[in-house]
Structure 1
Amino acid sequence: MKKYKSKKRKFENYAYVLDFLEYGYPDDKRPLHQRKPIAQGFGEKQFVLMELVLKDDKTVEIGERVYIGKGKRDKVEYISRMLKYEELTPTAKTELFYVIKEAVKRNEKKFIQFINECGPITNKMHSLQLLPGIGKTTMWKIIEEREAKPFESFEDVEKRVHRNLLDAISKRIEEELKEPQKYYLFVQWKEHQQ
């Protein structure tokens, strides 16, 4: 009998608040006293959209980083479900890019490692070309620079290549959350860090 290695499931420990709905969703027909405070959030490591149910006496700020991992949580009672981009409130959609950018900054070391090591997706397309604003010329400049000396930070990339990859990566992740893509950069990145 063949044994299969099971992939260890990764769970989020932190999420960023995209919107806070003190009395739940406006279209909820239940009386106010039966509703729970809800936040729409973005997972810091797995880049997933989620609905968080808060503890009754707690409030959160938009953009706040909250603990959602195992063990005692200060503000979040539980994660009720995963969300699709279309289910986000207008406020959450507006805040999404900013919290993605913050999550990317917190994971800078792993993203820089990815930039230093990523390769082609097909014979005609490189992973770097999935980033908004990165064409063939910039892609080759990044490859030449990383071969001369690996990048150390987003600031280092910007100095040597004159491109803001922090914003480009954040925009790409937002695009991937908005609509289906032929190729996914953040899926590659998540696989890369395992």
Structure 2
Amino acid sequence: MEEKALVLDYMARGRSSDIKTEPMAQLIGKAAFTLLEVVPRPGVEFKSLDEVYVGKDERPQIDHIKKRLDYKGLTNNSLNELEGAIQKIVLSDEAKYIAFYNTSRSISLKMHQIELLPGMGKKHMLQLLGEREKMPFTSFEEMKKRLHPFPDPVAAIVKRVAEELEGKDQKFYLFTRPPSQEKEFRHGMYGGHDRRDNRDRPASYNRQ
């Protein structure tokens, strides 16, 4: 369940293609990077990367959530802000993503979750597994000191999240929910879920 989200784009008059003109914003959730389109309450305006409450309780800034978006529904402004927003989310919950590096696992006889991150190969994976066996990582800075040469651990997650959101030929989802999974905001982090195993039925995000 998403509780908080960051603003990617705010449109004071909504989309030009919409029949009904009303303010609109596109958001990205902080828990599972869910893309949402919302209508703010009267008088509320947003700036890019503002944090907004989108949970089940009363939403002070949001009138209602229109829908869950897919990547193709993002505006150009949202696309421009996307990786910066993902990075901000990852850095704001460092312990959660360090836990991924400390607990990531094999997803097949030939593939490890680490190898799904852009820029990460088998040598990087073996290096990381060797170091974390000695002592778990505690921060991104510590990872950079102990692992070299090694891709930037933050940038690797940011790029992976962006790829999962884009959804092209993705079989496994480490940090986001598969596009077809529309059942509220529940998400199994680091599951490496195969999208073909998903049988959840659609559900509305609007408050009843």
Query: Structure 1-normalised TM-score?
Result: 0.86
- Note if 1:95 corresponds to 2:92: no
Match 1:129 to one of 94, 115, 132: 115
Match of 2:16 in 1: 26
- Note if 1:157 corresponds to 2:143: yes
Q: 1:145 to 1:178 in 2, by over 3 A?
A: same
Deviation at residue 117 of structure 1 after TM alignment: 1.2
Show structure 1 runs of 5+ residues with no match: 1-10
| Alpha carbons 2:27, 2:35 under 8 Å: kept | yes
CA distance in 2, matches of 1:72, 1:150: 39
Q: Which amino acid aligns with 1:170?
A: V
Match 1:186 to one of 175, 191, 194: 175
Q: Which amino acid aligns with 2:88?
A: E
| Alpha carbons 2:174, 2:190 under 8 Å: kept | no
Quick check: which has more Rg, 1 or 2? 1
The structure with the largest helix share of the pair is 1
**Residue 172 of structure 2 aligns to a residue in which SS?**
coil
| Alpha carbons 1:40, 1:51 under 8 Å: kept | yes
Match 2:39 to one of 53, 57, 68: 53
Deviation at residue 108 of structure 1 after TM alignment: 1.5
| Alpha carbons 1:120, 1:126 under 8 Å: kept | yes
| Residue range with higher mean Cα deviation, 133-142 or 66-75 | 66-75
Deviation at residue 193 of structure 1 after TM alignment: 7.5
**Residue 191 of structure 1 aligns to a residue in which SS?**
coil
Aligned length: 179
Highest relative contact order (Cα 8 Å, sep 6+), 1 or 2?
A: 2
Match of 2:26 in 1: 40
Match of 2:2 in 1: 12
Deviation at residue 187 of structure 1 after TM alignment: 4.8
| Alpha carbons 1:36, 1:54 under 8 Å: kept | no
Stretches of 4+ moved more than 4 A in 1?
none
Show structure 2 runs of 5+ residues with no match: 178-186, 192-208
Q: Percent same amino acid at aligned positions? A: 38
Query: Structure 2-normalised TM-score?
Result: 0.81
RMSD across aligned C-alpha pairs, in angstroms? 1.8
